[in-house]
Amino acid sequence: MAAKPLDGIRILDFTQLLPGPMCTLHLADMGADVIKIEPPGGEAGRGPAGTPVSHFFHTVNRNKRSIALDLRAPGAREVVHRLAASADVVVEGFRPGVMARLGIGYEDLKAINPRLVYCAISGYGQDGPLAQLGGHDINYQSYAGILEQSAAPGGPPHPGNFPIADLAGGALSAAMAILAALFDARRSGQGRFIDVSMTDCALALNTQPLASLHTWKQPVPAGHDTLSGGLPCYGTYQTADGRHLAVGALEPKFWQAFCAAAGCPELGKSGWAAGKSGAAVRAQVAAIVKARTLAEWIEVFDGMDACVSPVLRIDEVLAHPLTKARGMTVDTPVPDGSSVPCFAFPVKMSDFAFTLDRVPPAAGQHDEEVLRESGHGDGDIARLREAGAVRPPAAN
């Protein structure tokens, strides 16, 4: 088997919770050596002190090493400087200016390693009127115009359980930019500072409402646009047992196949009906779908090319033949000695196979290993422990 795509790349990861850790998870799964730099008690995503490490943490922190470092303690800045000298990437998720005040911001580390790619992930960017405000996914979605569209017709905006701005806006946008900057650093010898605003990046993906605005010269209300419930051929319908069927039959051939299988071929030309006519078609389809259970509809559409699917729960997703056939789970050990299925690296590449090489680390599990790799000897490590920058081995 060939080397993994990012073998030999070292990443210093100062991020916590979801956007940054998901970004570095993807990079670690592709072979990067991700060193997770956590506060002494471990990052917030591990959960409250004295409780078992959260499953949330385990889903996004495999294939990484961890050192627990008090960034405000004497000697900590020098540790980061030494690590940065041989690193390729730094990823951080603090508010703008925090790393610079600690003496480990981009300008500090660039002076040590000009090839360094430094990515700062924040809610609203490094400048602008909201730069210093805290926020979460719901706030970034709001400013990006996404949350306003996440509603039924006439209903209130309601976020789903998929944090779009954190993941698509933060994690994936950061990973994309890091890889581009790494490519350029390899040929130019110069790194870059990357400013990832989760709001900006989520906004840039919110193209459907923007296109509708330009088309109709006014915003289209939630639940009335092409993909949000305005068309009979694209939406969800409740089944007899309270479950839902998802219909994405935008093209006429798919809608006609759906109507034929559902027993309403007379509606085959009404998939794009709008206004009162569209509402009437949708009501007819709703009544038809409501007459059978989800299991019955799954049987009806089994193997049929009609863009129809069951709306699955997460437990059903894990058991589904598609998930299994695509190798999309990996059994991951957890502290109680058992293991749980987590999602695997999703992209397939030639000459590359995703593997679980490191289980999610304990906080500070690799303190001594990483410190020695960066040239710290016994005396250096003892002084760092005395200063409280790192903990004694027994506490790891």
Q: Which token pair is 77?
A: 């800045």
Q: Which residues contact 314 (CB under 8 A, 6 or more apart)?
A: none
The answer, yes or no, to whether residue 394 has pLDDT greater than 80, is no
- pLDDT category, 139, cuts 50, 70, 90? very high
d(CA 41, CA 233): 52
The answer, yes or no, to whether residue 396 has pLDDT greater than 50, is no
Sequence spans of domains, the chain: 10-204+328-395, 234-321
Residue type, 1: M
Instruction: Tell me, yes or no, if 166 is annotated catalytic.
Output: yes
Q: Read off the pLDDT of residues 141-152 as tens digits, 9 standing for 90 and up.
A: 999 999 999 999
Q: Which residue among the candidates 81, 136, 244, 320 is catalytic per the annotation? A: 136
Q: Which residues pair with 333 in a beta bridge?
A: 339
* CATH homologous superfamily for the domain 234-321: formyl-coa transferase, domain 3 (3.30.1540.10)
Section 78-102 average pLDDT: 98
Give the pLDDT confidence score for residue 375 in this predicted structure.
96
The answer, yes or no, to whether residue 113 has pLDDT greater than 90, is yes
Percent of the chain with pLDDT over 90: 96
Give the pLDDT confidence score for residue 1 in this predicted structure.
64
The answer, yes or no, to whether residue 395 has pLDDT greater than 70, is no
Q: Which residue among the candidates 166, 200, 225, 367 is catalytic per the annotation? A: 166
Give the pLDDT confidence score for residue 2 in this predicted structure.
83
* CATH homologous superfamily for the domain 10-204+328-395: Crotonobetainyl-coa:carnitine coa-transferase; domain 1 (3.40.50.10540)
CA 260 to chain centre: 39
Give the pLDDT confidence score for residue 67 in this predicted structure.
98
Section 329-339 average pLDDT: 93
> 76 vs 393, which has greater pLDDT?
76
- Any idea how long the chain is? 396
d(CA 234, CA 251): 10
The whole-chain average pLDDT of the chain stands at 96
Neighbours of 200 (CB within 10 A): 20
Section 325-331 average pLDDT: 98
Neighbours of 93 (CB within 10 A): 24
Q: Which residues contact 221 (CB under 8 A, 6 or more apart)?
A: 153
Alpha helices in 119-220, H assignment, sequence order = 137-143, 164, 173-188, 198-205, 207-216
